[in-house]
Structure 1
């Protein structure tokens, strides 16, 4: 409850949470709010926004842009959350083994993480999706592969900081198994920075997914914001609304997640936040 009260004292975090809740509601209720198929031609091409029927206008093929944004929210959030959970699973596991075991295990796992970090993340994601083929599962896999190394290094650092603490040494002296020491004593005390970094990873994953879809590497069966921006880039001078509205959806979503992540950081790590601002 103290963390919740600390979070609510951050106006930017409350605004970000409110925006994020609106986006989640739009994604969940997309079939109700926009009952038309986002791929279906429902009007004349190039219809301007704020009209009686298509209030965000239509694209070059007469498809409803509002329907595309509503259904695209589901794709962006699903890929962002799924790829982040996969990255957390890999990163926390690798970081836990490296930080707790140390020695050769630590060296080997960190060299693997550094190997992945030598290649720019977006370039690696493009290579993976282009090689495996554009699909929802391959996008999630590619984003998870490029997102886990920072999470692994963070988890390793937290484990190395905590494994020398008195309560951890006491648990080891009492004969507790390594798995129990990790799950009951170290990991619960390391979860706050991991949670904050994971929340910010969701925003990065949404940006990567949008960029992949912009390049035509998204799932061809799913409408996404990045695809909408990419499809409208050739007519941006004649029909600004085709790219501005989905681009604004990406901007607002990423901004909301970052505001929530920063407020979470202040709420869960108050001493670290105060020292960083001092």
Structure 2
């Protein structure tokens, strides 16, 4: 752990990303408590420009709602969807990839054909179809994003397990009579998790973009304020009130950038070869 933090500190991009993600999580968790104004409540006249009123710092939208309140509450929705959908994708993809890589043969072929079936359909198109079928809600959005996100996890874990199952410590566990499940969960997966952790950080960023895109198209949860909804609501009046679209768009950009920078930092910190080279 000490070496991990030393490697992260040597990666300025990773530390910047970590600060961005930490601030975003703080806003998502404590923002609504510190800023109790409902994002749906009309607080001023419509299309009030930014900084025109101290009470409404970032202006209002077409219905007189506070844009800053929308950003605060939207952070919770975007990060919640990103993290929960990534967790669900890991719960599905890691076991499937581990089983396919460890047992091989027909089991591997069957699981990989099943995985490839989901990868033949563009992820965004599949997410749109799933949300439309399940009806737009926070649960259907999380489910849809998780369904389109687990195949890369399964393929990555499968590749790692294939490279690790012939190692000496795995063969020793087999010789001593350990069960297959014990070998997979106690011997192989702990040594295969470094690239999975890096992929997970990038998946959160991708999930935030997917949720924002779905909300932009009107497929978001109608009861929850999100950054994608705000961008979509302001696109028709972007020339008249640019701030309605720009501010949530910048929030999406910064959050996704932070997640990607964290992913790069984790890749360097958890990659033994790079650590050995002194990077």
The question of a shared fold, defined as TM-score above 0.5 by the shorter chain, is answered with yes
Displaced runs of 4 or more, over 3 A: 272-275
Alignment partners' CA distance in 2, 1:274 and 1:186 = 22
Q: Contact 1:34 / 1:66 at 8 angstroms: preserved in 2?
A: no
Q: Contact 1:72 / 1:224 at 8 angstroms: preserved in 2?
A: yes
Match in the other structure for 1:210: 212
CA offset at residue 5 of structure 1? 1.0
Match in the other structure for 1:46: 47
Unpaired runs of at least 5, structure 1? none
Q: Confirm or deny that 1:247 pairs with 2:221.
A: no
Q: Contact 1:213 / 1:224 at 8 angstroms: preserved in 2?
A: yes
2:161 aligned to 159, 162, 170, which one? 159
Alignment partners' CA distance in 2, 1:257 and 1:118 = 26
Q: RMSD of aligned C-alpha atoms?
A: 1.3
Match in the other structure for 2:180: 178
* Cα distance change on mapping 1:274 and 1:204 into 2, 3 Å: farther
Q: Contact 1:56 / 1:241 at 8 angstroms: preserved in 2?
A: yes
Report how many aligned residue pairs link the two structures.
276
1:125 aligned to 127, 132, 136, which one? 127
Match in the other structure for 1:31: 32
Alignment partners' CA distance in 2, 1:270 and 1:249 = 34
Alignment partners' CA distance in 1, 2:170 and 2:105 = 19
Q: Deviations over 1:106-136 (max 9, x none)?
A: 0000001111000000000000000110001
Q: Contact 1:265 / 1:273 at 8 angstroms: preserved in 2?
A: no
Aligned residue for 1:176, secondary structure, equals coil
CA offset at residue 208 of structure 1? 0.2
Q: Contact 1:39 / 1:63 at 8 angstroms: preserved in 2?
A: yes
Match in the other structure for 1:107: 109
Alignment partners' CA distance in 1, 2:218 and 2:127 = 13
Alignment partners' CA distance in 2, 1:98 and 1:166 = 20
Aligned residue for 2:230, secondary structure, equals helix
1:1-278 equivalences under 5 Å are 1-50=2-51, 51-271=53-273
CA offset at residue 139 of structure 1? 0.3
Unpaired runs of at least 5, structure 2? none
CA offset at residue 273 of structure 1? 8.1
Aligned residue for 1:29, secondary structure, equals helix
Alignment partners' CA distance in 1, 2:30 and 2:92 = 32
Alignment partners' CA distance in 1, 2:15 and 2:4 = 13
Aligned residue for 1:18, secondary structure, equals helix
Q: Contact 1:159 / 1:190 at 8 angstroms: preserved in 2?
A: yes
CA offset at residue 53 of structure 1? 1.3
CA offset at residue 32 of structure 1? 3.0
Alignment partners' CA distance in 2, 1:32 and 1:57 = 21
Alignment partners' CA distance in 2, 1:25 and 1:121 = 30
Alignment partners' CA distance in 2, 1:205 and 1:255 = 13
* TM-score, scaled relative to structure 2: 0.97
CA offset at residue 33 of structure 1? 3.3
